[in-house]
Amino acid sequence: MGELEQLAKLIESGKAKRILVLCGAGVSTGAGIPDFRSPGTGLYDNLQKYGLPYPEAIFEVNYYRKKPGAFVSLAHELWPGIKFQPTLTHRFLKLLSDKGLLLRIYSQNIDGLEFLAGIPDDKLVECHGHFRTASCIDCGNAANAEEVKETIVRDGKTPTCNYCGGNVKPDIVFFGEGLPDRFHRLLKQDIPKADLLLVMGTSLQVAPVSMIPNMVRCNRVLFNRDLVMKIRKGRDMFVPGNCDANIQKFLDILGWTIVPTTTPTDKTEEKEESTDNGDEENIEKLFAKIEINAVEKQGQKNSGTSSSSGKKDEGKEKEKVARK
C-alpha cells in the first residue's frame, strides 16, 4: 500500500479525526506566489531590485523604520485577495474542516489564502500575522486597516501613524517580534489532542513554528518537495513532490470532491478549552524549552541560511531563523 492509501485508511478508520496542519509557502506556490527559500525561484533569491543588505532585512522592524520601501513594494505585489486565489491544497484543508476532521491549521503564510478559502477563524492560526490589521511600529497604535491598504496598494506609499508619525505596517510578524499570544495559547491545547500532523510546503527553517513536528506524539505526514524532517519508520510518511498534485491523488483515493470556495462567515467564538488528558505539565515544560530555544537562536537570524533543506543531516541541530 502506498503512502496516500495508508493515510486514507487512517482517516477512514476514524484513527485520525483531530488533524493538526502545519503549512508554509509551498502550499501557495500553485497560486503563483513564490516561496521564500527554493533556490532560484524563492523570494529571498529575487530581492536584488530592493537593494537589501541581506534578504531577511525586508522583514525586519529596524530596516522598515529606516527604509520601508522594500516591504511596501512587496506588500503592494502580494496583498491578499487581489491577484492570488486559494489552491487545491487550501480547499482540501477547508474540506477537512467541513468534515469535522480539522483540529487546527498553523500557517506560516501571510498571503491570507486559508482565510480566503473559507477556513473558519477558530480553526486557523496565522502564526506570522496577516494584512487585515495594521499598527504603528513605534507607538503600537492600531491604524485604520482600509486606509493602510489604500496607501500601500493604490498609492504604493508607506503608511504613517496619525498619533506619532512613525511608520505603520500590516500586522505581519517581522523577525525579532513575538508571535501572536493566540499561537502559544492554542498550541498548548492542540498538541496533546492531535492524532495526526500534516506538514505541508514548509522548509521548517523558522522557529518556533518549526518545532511543532517535534512536539506532537502522533503520526506525521510530510507533503513537500524536499525531505525536511526525519521520517520515523512505521510512524511517519513522506509524500514527495507538488502538494496540489498529491492532494488531488489523495482526494481521488478518498472519493472526496472539492466544493466551491465561499467567503468566510463563521466567526465562532473560540472555546478556551483546557487540556484534559493530564499532560498539561509536560506541555508547559515543552513550551518553556521552545521559548528559550527561540531566544537563543535569535542571533543566528542573519546568518544567510537560505538553502533548501533536503540535503541536510537531520540528526544535527539545524541552523534556523528564530522568532520570539
Check residue 201 for interaction with ligand OAD (CB under 6 A).
Answer: yes
Provide the CA 147 distance to its chain's centre, in angstroms: 26
Check residue 72 for interaction with ligand OAD (CB under 6 A).
Answer: no
CA distances to 59, 122, 124, 263 from 268, rounded to whole Å, are 32, 6, 12, 15
Check residue 92 for interaction with ligand OAD (CB under 6 A).
Answer: no
- Residue 232 gets which letter from DSSP? P
Check residue 308 for interaction with ligand OAD (CB under 6 A).
Answer: yes
Check residue 203 for interaction with ligand OAD (CB under 6 A).
Answer: yes
Binding-site string for ligand OAD from residue 167 to residue 196, where x marks contact by CB under 6 A and - marks none: -----xx-----------------------
Of 248, 194, 192, 205, nearest to 223 by C-alpha is 248
Which strands make up the sheet holding 102-107, listed edge to edge?
A: 124-126, 102-107, 19-23, 196-200, 219-224, 236-240
Check residue 205 for interaction with ligand OAD (CB under 6 A).
Answer: yes
Beta carbon nearer to ligand OAD, 94 or 169: 169
CA distance 232 to 2: 16
Beta carbon nearer to ligand OAD, 245 or 286: 245
* Contact set for ligand OAD, span 224-253 (CB under 6 A): 224-226, 228, 242-243
Beta carbon nearer to ligand OAD, 135 or 205: 205
| Region of residue 169 (phi > 0: left; psi between -120 and 50: alpha; otherwise: beta) | beta
CB 322 within 8 A of CB 207: yes
- Cβ atoms < 10 Å from Cβ of 252: 12
Residue 29 CB, nearest approach to ligand OAD (Å): 4
Check residue 38 for interaction with ligand OAD (CB under 6 A).
Answer: yes
Beta carbon nearer to ligand OAD, 42 or 80: 42
Residue 285 CB, nearest approach to ligand OAD (Å): 26
H helix or E strand, kind and range, residue 105: strand 102-107
| Helical H segments across the chain, by residue range | 3-12, 61-66, 69-78, 88-98, 113-116, 145-149, 181-193, 212-215, 243-254, 280-296
CA distance 77 to 33: 10
Q: Which position among 97, 167, 189, 202 is part of the footprint of ligand OAD (CB under 6 A)?
A: 202
SS3 171: strand
Residue 271 CB, nearest approach to ligand OAD (Å): 27
Of 45, 42, 39, nearest to 29 by C-alpha is 42
Query: Would strands 142-143 and 124-126 be described as parallel, antiparallel, or unpaired?
Result: unpaired
Binding-site string for ligand OAD from residue 265 to residue 304, where x marks contact by CB under 6 A and - marks none: ----------------------------------------
Selecting among 76, 90, 128, 130, the annotated active-site residue is 128
Check residue 112 for interaction with ligand OAD (CB under 6 A).
Answer: no
Respond yes or no: is residue 128 known to be catalytic.
yes
Phi, psi torsion values for 91, nearest 5 degrees: -75, -30
Residue 278 CB, nearest approach to ligand OAD (Å): 33
Check residue 318 for interaction with ligand OAD (CB under 6 A).
Answer: no
- Residue 45 gets which letter from DSSP? G
Residue 203 CB, nearest approach to ligand OAD (Å): 3
Residue 193 CB, nearest approach to ligand OAD (Å): 24
Degrees, nearest 5: CA angle 32-26-218: 155
Active site residues per annotation: 128
Applying CB under 6 A, which residues contact ligand OAD?
Answer: 24-26, 29-30, 35-38, 42, 59, 108, 110, 128, 172-173, 201-203, 205-206, 224-226, 228, 242-243, 308
